[in-house]
Amino acid sequence: MTETSDHTIGSIEAIDDLVNKYRAPEVIGLSAPNATAGTQADVLILPDGLKAHSIKAYLDEYRDKPERRTGKALFIELASFLAHVNRFQDADSAIFLDPTPAAPSVMAVLDYHRAGATSDPRFGVHRSLYTPVLSDEWKAWSKTNGEKLGQQEFAEFLEDRIGDVRMPDLLNPGSTDPETEAQRTTRELASLLQGTYASPQKLMELAAGMKVTVIEHTAQAVTLSNGVATIMFQAEHKSDDGQKLVVPSLFEIGIPVFRGGPLYRVTVRLRYRMARGVVAWFYQMYQTDKVIDHVLADLATTVADDTALPVFVGKPES
């Protein structure tokens, strides 16, 4: 039997007291350099490897209100986004417009840093985000933009979307009224594209009443001086009443780009191709990238005017 001396027992007890002393939970206060007098953060020292743990999360459970506003509100409607920003903004809030074509967005940082190089920074954790949703009209026209459509398919598409077609904004012949900027733009575009605009009624005629037959003995293409074309391309194609079919090369649609947004006029080029007596139709929306740029510029102006906040093109600090 091994005997343990009093000296050995005393040493073990001393070591045990020392270990317990340094492994016991402890709350200490830490202050940052140059911190305001009396400002410190409480840190809880737990015995699991003497790691430091903040007790803020535990204390927050007992607050009667949050320490600061945090979180990001998400909106798909511009009016709701503006209402939220105006509800919570202050003099230093800021807005960032991200013009990325695939996913444009508008972010409001409601607790943004105060202006001035030496001003106190803020957390920037209370935000509003507006993500525009493409309108059903824009998605419908974009879906088959540039794709070849059969006669019946093209006719059905035009019948479904004829409500989007607008009369072109052109000055009436012989009018003495001054030409507006919009009218001048439309006229110059028609001249540039060497085409003539179709009315909604003309497109309905193409959609509802057009039946094309082919007479194979003619090989001629005719483009008239006014920009319209007769369908006589490698063959003479006539409508069901035996008349040459005149096809306008342009028409105009007025549709919103974003859901709930204003209408924008878009010029559309009308094309066809003949192959073995079969007509294939397709259309091309002209300069959609510039239309999107215009929409985003208008959006930035609307947000700035409604909130009276600065609008920056880009993204806020992460």
Top CATH class of 71-132+296-313 equals alpha beta
- Strands 71-75 and 126-130 come out as parallel
pLDDT of 28 reads 79
Q: Are 275 and 249 in contact (CB under 8 A)?
A: no
Tokens of 43: 């840190």
pLDDT of 233 reads 35
> From its phi and psi, is residue 287 left (phi > 0), alpha (psi between -120 and 50) or beta?
left
**Helix, strand, coil tally for the chain in percent (to 5):** 30, 25, 45
The set of residues, in sequence order, having a beta carbon less than 8 Å from that of 87 and lying 6+ positions away, is none
From the CB of residue 172, how many other CB atoms can be counted at a distance below 10 Å? 7
pLDDT of 220 reads 38
pLDDT of 181 reads 76
pLDDT of 218 reads 32
pLDDT of 267 reads 93
Q: Are 109 and 96 in contact (CB under 8 A)?
A: yes
Task: Point out which residues pair with 75 in neighbouring strands.
Answer: 130
Q: Which residue has the tokens 């444009």?
A: 104
Q: How far is residue 125's CA from residue 15's CA, in Å, rounded to a whole number?
A: 49
Torsion angles phi and psi, residue 255, rounded to 5: -140, 155
Q: Please choose, from the candidates 114, 135, 124, the residue with its C-alpha nearest in 3D space to the C-alpha of residue 295.
A: 135
pLDDT of 259 reads 94
pLDDT of 240 reads 59
Q: How far is residue 300's CA from residue 293's CA, in Å, rounded to a whole number?
A: 11
Can you tell me whether residue 42 is helix, strand or coil?
Answer: strand
The per-residue pLDDT for range 283-306, each reduced to its tens digit, is: 999 999 999 999 999 999 999 999
pLDDT of 102 reads 85
The per-residue pLDDT for range 215-260, each reduced to its tens digit, is: 443 333 444 445 454 544 334 555 556 566 667 889 999 999 999 9
Tens digit of pLDDT per residue, the chain (318 long)?
555 555 566 677 776 666 666 666 777 777 766 666 666 777 777 666 666 778 788 778 778 888 899 999 999 999 999 999 999 999 999 999 999 988 999 999 999 999 888 888 999 999 999 999 999 999 999 999 999 988 888 888 998 999 999 988 775 776 667 877 777 888 888 888 888 888 898 888 777 655 555 444 333 344 444 545 454 433 455 555 656 666 788 999 999 999 999 999 999 999 888 777 677 889 999 999 999 999 999 999 999 999 999 999 999 998
Domain regions of the chain by residue span: 9-60, 71-132+296-313, 136-286
